[in-house]
Amino acid sequence: GENVEQHPSTLSVQEGDSAVIKCTYSDSASNYFPWYKQELGKRPQLIIDIRSNVGEKKDQRIAVTLNKTAKHFSLHITETQPEDSAVYFCAASWTGGYNKLIFGAGTRLAVHP
Amino acid sequence: DAGITQSPRHKVTETGTPVTLRCHQTENHRYMYWYRQDPGHGLRLIHYSYGVKDTDKGEVSDGYSVSRSKTEDFLLTLESATSSQTSVYFCAISSEGHSTDTQYFGPGTRLTVL
């Protein structure tokens, strides 16, 4: 069945460093790939997304890249700040429509001052 | 926050009792979803709805049922709660059309089954 693998499960960086989180997906029909950030006790919030007709997308310090041939996509955060500390989830659209998503297991990012 | 509310926000119940969680949205979104979130598993889809009275199963539907009698309300029912259903439950919504298919989440319900 459809699956999204996310790595690493935990990531610790110093403030100002870059952080990279990688996901691979199994469904070759997936065409939409959002990333969510979840702070402790809060709901997941969309931070950036990319569609299959685009290879890269940037929004200030956040960027996402997509390699459809290899079926993987990555989140890049530059100049990390303590407020970037959170759990990040990748997701891929699920075959069958209705905007269904399948999620990775999450990456806990800790940014140390 | 896309006009989504969930109730209750916290609930403690006993094994074997029925439990119903409610998701309410105010912006007429067509699609609604129920997820559960557990450590190490991310968000897993339980059931989803693509219109009034139109629902289908997700990845982890066993032990759960849903109903959608009005566009704005999507109910998740645990007919006989078990300890394995202790989790945080999130409702989400999305709409039709390119660039409007993003899912937005409600605030969550923390359910503890003793």
What pLDDT digit, counting tens, does each position of A76-95 carry? 999 999 999 999 999 999 87
Any idea which residue has 């219109």 for tokens?
B51
What is the pLDDT at residue A14?
A: 97
Closest residue of B to A105, CA-based?
Answer: B42
Three-state secondary-structure class, residue A1: coil
C-alpha count within 13 angstroms, C-beta hemisphere, residue A40: 5
For chain A, state the CA radius of gyration: 14
pLDDT in tens, A23-81: 999 988 888 999 999 999 999 999 999 988 889 999 999 999 999 999 999 999 999 99
Calculate how close chain A gets to B92, using CA atoms only, in Å: 10
Cross-chain Cβ contact A45/B31 below 8 Å: no
* CA–CA dist B32, A75 (Å, integer): 26
CA distance A6 to A21: 7
pLDDT tens-digit map of B45-88: 999 999 999 999 999 999 999 999 999 999 999 999 999 999 99
Say which residue, B74 or A98, is predicted with more confidence.
Answer: B74
User: Which residue in A60, A54, A61 sits closest to A109, CA to CA?
Assistant: A61
C-beta atoms of B45 and A46 within 8 A: no
Contact between A62 and B57 under an 8 Å Cβ cutoff? The reply is no
Minimum-distance CB partner of A105 among B40, B94, B105: B40
Compare CB distances from A43 to B48, B59, B90 and report the shortest one's residue. B90
Query: Token digits for B30?
Result: 């067509």
Residue of B1, B42, B104 with shortest CB distance to A103: B42
User: CA-to-CA distance for B31 and A96, rounded, in angstroms?
Assistant: 13
B33 to A100: CB separation less than 8 angstroms, yes or no = yes
Q: Which two tokens stand for residue B76?
A: 């998740």
Residues of A in contact with B33 (CB under 8 A): 100
Contacts of A42 in chain B (CB under 8 A): 107
Q: Which of A42, A99, A106 sits opposite B31 (nearest CB)?
A: A99
Residues from A contacting B (CB-CB < 8 Å) are: 6, 9, 32, 34, 36, 42-46, 49, 89, 91, 93-94, 98-106
In angstroms, the CA A90 to CA A113 distance is: 25
- DSSP label at residue B83: G
Residues of A whose CB is below 8 A from B25: none
Contact B94 A102 (CB under 8 A): no
Indicate the pairing of strand A45-51 with strand B87-94. Answer: unpaired
pLDDT at A98: 84
Distances (CA, A) of B43 to A8, A40, A52, A76, B69: 17, 15, 22, 21, 25
